[in-house]
Structure 1
Amino acid sequence: MSLLQPNINITAGVKYQTLHEAILLGVLSMGSSCSFLYINCVLLFTLRSKPVFCETSRYVLLYNLFFADTVQMAFNILLYILASLRIKMTYYACGTVVLLLVFTATVSPLTLAVMSVERYVAVCYPLRHATIFNMRRTGTAIVLVWTISFIHILIRVFMLLYLFTQIDLNLNMNDFCSKEAFFFAPIFKYFEEAYVSIVFLSTGVAIISSYFGVALVARSASTDKCSARKALQTLMLHFIHLSLILTSSLFSTIITAAARTVLKLDLVRIYTVCFVCLIILPRCLGALIYGFRDQTIRPVLVLNLFCQRRHSVFKSK
């Protein structure tokens, strides 16, 4: 779908307005997308700027979460730009981008599940937290998360290989590169629905179970009330973050349904709004919420966002 294609059956004045509107929508969407991408990249740099961030399991898990979200944002922005410029790719080139996009999509919800269990252990078993979630076991959990995502990709690749034996594939794509254009067979839609349901249901159960576990322990007199309250707030944020990621899976459904009922100009507007609100924004809100909420990350993040540290160094020199 082209994002800048005017309707040829309208007057010149309407064409002129449509072109200006398309440019405005493009500037707003790319401006917000690049701003959000910049925030995520700065947060990734921040989480590697101090030893405490590299030696604490909670911050290592946060880095893994934001890394997956940032990769998601970058590849989605790339596909958006290619579609806006009407650039079509070969099937294999599109497949490389789409497979990387799908590969990192599962990492975020699974990492949220691990982070929820980590907060549960921190509150309910504070004396054993350092042993249970040491750096080695945290690294093992991260490897397991990426392994599950890789298995997901392998299943899709095997399905594609089987499909290629049944049909003749045109290596030059007739449509713009997207996940829906690459995984064109109906079987992939059913597989996507089943896989997304299993992943998000499992992650939701992990977050909710951790929340109620912490809530029950918080009632005891021996529990640190402040720590338990912060853990409950963090688990609630995990659930909200998971819900936002889940809404991004509705993007294709909304665009497909809108394409059947609205005009192309209205579809451009819907596509742009959904792209920013459903694809980009959920991947950036996590960085804003966790980054500015954490008292250890916040001061360093603010300095890095506005490059104040580098300025202060030059000023002192």
Structure 2
Amino acid sequence: MLYANQTQTLNITAGQQYQGLLERILFSTLIGMPCCLFLFINATMLFILRSKAVFRETSRYILLYNLLFSDTVLLALSQLLYILAACRIFPTYPVCGVLAMLTSLTNIISPLTLVVMCMERYVAVCYPLRHATIITVRNTAVAIIVVWAFSSLNVLIRVLLLLKFPFDQLQSLQMTDVCSDISMSLGPMSDVYNKAYTGFVFLSAAVAVTCSYVGVMVAARSASTDKASARRARNTLLLHLVQLGLTLLSTMHSSMIVSLSQILSRLIIVRIKSIFYVFIYILPRCLSSLIYGLRDQTIRPVLMYHLCCRLKLNHLSKG
């Protein structure tokens, strides 16, 4: 009787492990395919933005390149962390720290770049005669440098906070859990700082984008304003506001996961994290390519040409 119970228990455990493996494979496939697709589209967009002088010498396209670059790096790092978690690969604390800091760096660059892009659209609509003198390539480069410097300062402070953690008291630097921002929030000071910094950045960004949107709306009612240009700028700013909201959720999801983990089982938390990853991490990083790749009359024909040519080449090579 005892042997039969042990055999039944082993069969149930093996079945649960097999079901868990199938679930991980299914989730990894469903998540990996759209991620790879948009990494390909983003890479194509980055190539296009460096291929023609009109893109390299126009401020809005320079800003778009910076946004796409940070989004692409973040998407690639997020996918790498997801694969490590799905395969149950636990890196060391230094390796996870580097990956987490790079993720944090690129995650903050996106909303700050969106703010600069919104301000550029605001100047283009509200001050069209002064746009060429205010929004120059030099000023755009300075704005991008400031964005990267501000984001790097955040990473530096986080590293300094991590140095206060007593790593020497650990038995091993090998992690026992998946690598993520949550696992690298070591100590109460790191958690408080992350929440304060994230709240400050996104509150400031939301105010800046909203003010730009309101300014464009007011300017659109003026008789001297180009109605078509104002309408396009208004729609672009509205889409950027949606992007900002989704990006804000991507920084808040760690806190939500920690709260949910106290009342839900680990298996359900893993499923929720996978869903969050698709709708909060992947989706916002793909909107930039869709907004500009499909709506911008200058980029769209070039993007369609490159995508169609590559699809034809792939089809011919398979044929």
Q: Same fold (TM over 0.5)?
A: yes
Aligned equivalents of 1:77, 1:85: Cα separation in 2:
12
Residue of structure 2 equivalent to 1:172 = 174
Aligned equivalents of 1:278, 1:29: Cα separation in 2:
12
Q: Which consecutive unaligned segments of at least 5 residues does structure 2 have?
A: 1-8
Residue of structure 1 equivalent to 2:188 = 186
Residue of structure 2 equivalent to 1:96 = 98
Aligned equivalents of 2:266, 2:109: Cα separation in 1:
34
Range 170-179 or range 7-16, more displaced = 7-16
Q: 2:296 corresponds to which letter in structure 1?
A: D
Q: More helix by proportion, 1 or 2? A: 2
Per-residue CA deviation, residues 193-215 of structure 1 (Å, 9 max, x unaligned), is: 11111111111111111111122
Equivalent positions of 1:76-91 (< 5 A) are 76-91=78-93
Q: 1:217 corresponds to which letter in structure 2?
A: A
Question: How many angstroms does 1:137 deviate by?
Answer: 0.5
Change (3 A) 1:11 1:92: closer
Aligned equivalents of 1:211, 1:257: Cα separation in 2:
34
Question: How many angstroms does 1:171 deviate by?
Answer: 2.0
Aligned equivalents of 1:205, 1:12: Cα separation in 2:
53
The number of residues matched between the two structures is 305
CA contact (8 A) 2:108 2:151 kept: yes
Residue of structure 2 equivalent to 1:300 = 302
CA contact (8 A) 2:81 2:180 kept: yes
Q: 1:36 corresponds to which letter in structure 2?
A: F
Question: How many angstroms does 1:304 deviate by?
Answer: 1.9
Residues 1:133 and 2:149 are matched in the alignment: no
Residue of structure 2 equivalent to 1:60 = 62
Q: Give the match's secondary structure for 1:295.
A: coil
Range 253-262 or range 236-245, more displaced = 253-262
Range 262-271 or range 114-123, more displaced = 262-271
Equivalent positions of 1:20-35 (< 5 A) are 20-35=22-37
Quote the RMSD (CA, aligned, Å). Answer: 2.2
Question: How many angstroms does 1:147 deviate by?
Answer: 0.6
Aligned equivalents of 1:9, 1:80: Cα separation in 2:
29
Aligned equivalents of 1:187, 1:251: Cα separation in 2:
19
Change (3 A) 1:14 1:103: closer
Change (3 A) 1:65 1:221: same
Select which of 237, 240, 245 maps to 1:238. 240
Change (3 A) 1:270 1:186: same
CA contact (8 A) 1:251 1:279 kept: no
Question: How many angstroms does 1:176 deviate by?
Answer: 2.2
Q: Give the match's secondary structure for 2:233.
A: helix
Aligned equivalents of 1:250, 1:162: Cα separation in 2:
24
Residue of structure 2 equivalent to 1:123 = 125
Q: Give the match's secondary structure for 2:155.
A: helix
Range 269-278 or range 49-58, more displaced = 269-278
Question: How many angstroms does 1:276 deviate by?
Answer: 1.2
Aligned equivalents of 1:63, 1:115: Cα separation in 2:
11
Q: Give the match's secondary structure for 2:223.
A: coil
Q: 1:100 corresponds to which letter in structure 2?
A: L
Identity within the alignment, %: 51
Aligned equivalents of 2:91, 2:284: Cα separation in 1:
27
Aligned equivalents of 1:268, 1:157: Cα separation in 2:
28
Residue of structure 1 equivalent to 2:3 = none
Q: Which consecutive unaligned segments of at least 5 residues does structure 1 have?
A: 1-6
Aligned equivalents of 2:300, 2:263: Cα separation in 1:
46
CA contact (8 A) 2:28 2:83 kept: no
Question: How many angstroms does 1:76 deviate by?
Answer: 0.7
Residue of structure 1 equivalent to 2:149 = 147
Per-residue CA deviation, residues 258-314 of structure 1 (Å, 9 max, x unaligned), is: 333333433332222111111112111222122211111111112222335985xx9
Aligned equivalents of 2:89, 2:18: Cα separation in 1:
23
Aligned equivalents of 2:10, 2:144: Cα separation in 1:
51
Q: Give the match's secondary structure for 1:288.
A: helix
Aligned equivalents of 1:274, 1:220: Cα separation in 2:
42
Equivalent positions of 1:31-46 (< 5 A) are 31-46=33-48
Select which of 259, 262, 271 maps to 1:260. 262
Q: Give the match's secondary structure for 2:67.
A: helix
